[in-house]
Amino acid sequence: MPTLESLDAASLRQAVTRFRDALRTHQEELNRLNVYPVPDGDTGTNMTLTLESVVTALGSAEAMPEVCHAISHGSLMGARGNSGVIMSQILRGIAEVFTELESAGPQDFTLALRTASDAAYEAVMRPVEGTILTVVRESAEAAEAACATAGNGAQLSELLVVVAAAARESVLRTPELLPVLRDAGVVDSGARGFTLLFDALLEVVDGTPIPEPSVSATPTIVEAHLSAGDVSSLRYEVMYLLDAPDDAIPSFKHAWAALGDSIVVVGGSGVWNCHVHTDDIGGAVEAGIEAGRPHAIRITDLIEQVAEEHRESDAAREGTPALEDAREQVMTGVVAVAVGKGNRRLLTGLGVQEIVAGGQSMNPSTAQILEAVERCPSDSVIVLPNNKNIVPVAAQVDALTTKSVAVIPTKSVVEALAALVAYDPHAELDVNSAAMADAADSVAAGEVTQAVRDSVGECGEIKAGDWIAIGPSGISVATDSAAGAVYALLDEMVGEDSEVVTVLVGADVASPEIQGVRKHLELAHPGLEVEVHEGGQPLYPYLIGVE
pLDDT tens for 175-206 read 999 887 887 778 899 999 999 999 999 999 99
Residue 125 banded pLDDT, cuts 50, 70, 90: low
* 3-state SS assignment for residue 209: coil
Residue 77 covered by a domain:
yes
Is 453 in the same domain as 433?
no
Instruction: Return d(Cα 284, Cα 299) in angstroms, integer.
Output: 10
Whether residue 45 is contained in a domain is answered as: yes
Q: How many CA atoms lie within 13 A of 339 on its CB side?
A: 24
Give residue-wise pLDDT tens across range 353-372.
Answer: 999 988 766 778 888 899 89
Number of domains composing the chain:
4
Tally of CB atoms within 10 A around 477: 24
- Report how far residue 373's alpha carbon sits from residue 381's, in angstroms, rounded to the nearest whole number: 7
H/E segment holding residue 354: strand 354-357
Which residues are 261's β-sheet partners? 277
Please classify residue 422 by burial: count the beta carbons closer than 10 Å to its beta carbon, then call 0-12 exposed, 13-18 middle and 19+ buried: middle
Residues 185, 248 share a domain: no
Kindly state whether residue 320 falls inside one of the protein's structural domains: no
**Residue 266 · residue 242 · CB < 8 Å:** no
Of 382, 412, 441, which residue is a domain's last? 441
199 with 232, same domain? Answer: no
For residues 190 and 54, state if they share a domain.
yes
Residues 22 and 164 in one domain: yes
Residue 323 has a pLDDT of 42
CATH classification at residue 391:
3.40.50.510
pLDDT at 484 over 70: yes
pLDDT given for residue 254 in this prediction = 83
Question: Over the chain, what is the mean pLDDT?
Answer: 85
| 214 domain residue, yes or no | no
Same domain membership, residue 166 and residue 147: yes
- The answer to the question of residue 27 being in a domain is yes
Asked if residue 323 belongs to a domain, the reply is no
Summarize pLDDT for 2-30 with one digit per residue, the tens.
899 999 999 999 999 999 999 988 887 88
Same domain, 14 and 122: yes
Q: Are both 165 and 22 inside the same structural domain?
A: yes
Domain shared by 296 and 268, yes or no: yes
Nearest partner of 272 among 257, 286, 300, 291, judged by Cα: 291
Question: pLDDT tens-digit profile of 515-547?
Answer: 999 999 999 998 899 999 999 888 899 999 999
Q: What is the pLDDT of residue 94?
A: 96
Distance CA 200, CA 16 (A): 7
Domain identity same for 435 and 483: no
Domain harbouring 185, CATH code: 1.25.40.340
pLDDT tens for each residue of 240-252: 888 899 899 888 8
Last residue of one domain, picked from the residues 156, 177, 206: 206
Q: Tell me: do 496 and 384 sit in the same domain.
A: no
| Residue 493 or 127, more confident | 493
Does some domain include residue 240?
yes
Q: Which domain holds residue 348?
A: 332-441
